[in-house]
Chain A
Amino acid sequence: MRKGSVLSAFFGVMRRDALSLWRRRADALNPIWFAAIVITLFPLALGPEAAKLARIAGGVIWVIVLLASLLSLDALFRADLEEGSLDLMLTSAQPLAVLAAAKILLHWLATGLPLVAITPIAATALGLSPKALPVLLTSLALGTPIISVIGACAAALTAGLRRAGMLLSLIVLPLVVPVLIFGAGAVEASLTGTSTTQPMLLLAAGLVASIALGPLVCAAALRLGNH
Chain B
Amino acid sequence: MNAFLTWLTSFGSPEKFHRVALRFEPWLLGLAVATGVVGLYLGLVKGPADYLQGESARIMYIHIPAAWMSLFIYGFMAFAGFCALVWRFKVAELMAMAAAPIGAGFTAVTLITGSLWGRPTWGTYWVWDARLTSELVLLFLYFGVIGLYNAIEDPRKGARAASLLALIGLVNLPIIHFSVNWWNTLHQGNSINLFAGKSSIHPSMLWPLILMAFATKFWFGASLLARTRAALVEFESGKEWAQAVLFGPRRPQA
A/B: CB atoms within 8 Å of each other: yes
Contact A188 B151 (CB under 8 A): no
Task: Determine which of A158, A175, A188, A189 lies in contact with B168 in the assembled complex, contact meaning CB atoms within 8 Å.
Answer: A175
Give the Cβ gap from B181 to chain A, nearest Cβ, in Å. Answer: 10
Is there an interface contact between B165 and A171, defined as CB atoms closer than 8 Å? yes
User: Which of B3-11, B138-146, B203-211, B233-241 forms part of the interface with chain A?
Assistant: B138-146
User: Main secondary structure on chain A at its contact with chain B?
Assistant: helix
CB distance from A183 to the nearest CB of B (A): 10
B182 in contact with A185 (CB, 8 Å): yes
**Contact A224:B160 (CB < 8 A) given known A161-B151, A174-B141, A174-B144:** yes
In the assembled complex, the CB of B166 is this many whole angstroms from the nearest CB of chain A, namely 11
Q: Is B251 located at the chain interface by the 8 A CB criterion?
A: no
Contact A175 B169, beta carbon cutoff 8 Å: yes
A224 in contact with B169 given A178-B176, A185-B186 (CB within 8 Å): no
Cβ distance B143 to chain A, nearest Cβ, rounded Å: 6
Asked whether, in the complex, the Cβ of A177 is within 8 Å of the Cβ of B168, the reply is no
**Is the interface on chain B under 10, 10 to 19, 20 to 34, or 35 or more residues?**
20 to 34
Q: Which of A194, A206, A217 contacts B164 (CB 8 A)?
A: A217
A224 near B186: Cβ-Cβ < 8 Å: no
Which of these, B141, B161, B186, contacts A188 with CB under 8 Å? B186
Number of chain A interface residues as a range? 20 to 34
A167 — which chain B residues lie within 8 A by C-beta? 144, 147-148, 151
C-alpha spacing A225/B160, complex, angstroms: 9
Contact indicator per residue, chain A 215-227, by CB within 8 Å of chain B (1) or not (0): 0010011001101
Are A161 and B152 in contact (CB-based, < 8 A)? yes
A182 in contact (CB, < 8 A): yes
Once A170-B140, A171-B148, A175-B169 are accepted as A-B contacts, the answer to whether A181 and B161 lie under 8 Å apart by CB is no
Tell me which residues across on chain A come within 8 A of B186, comparing CB atoms: 185, 188-189, 194
The distance in angstroms between the C-alpha atoms of A177 and B135, with both chains bound, is 13
13 new A-B contacts, CB < 8 A, other than A174-B169, A224-B157, are: A161-B152, A167-B144, A170-B143, A171-B148, A175-B141, A175-B168, A175-B172, A181-B179, A181-B182, A188-B186, A198-B182, A221-B161, A224-B164
10 of the cross-chain contacts (CB-CB < 8 Å) are: A153-B168, A157-B165, A158-B151, A167-B144, A173-B140, A174-B138, A177-B137, A178-B172, A188-B186, A217-B168
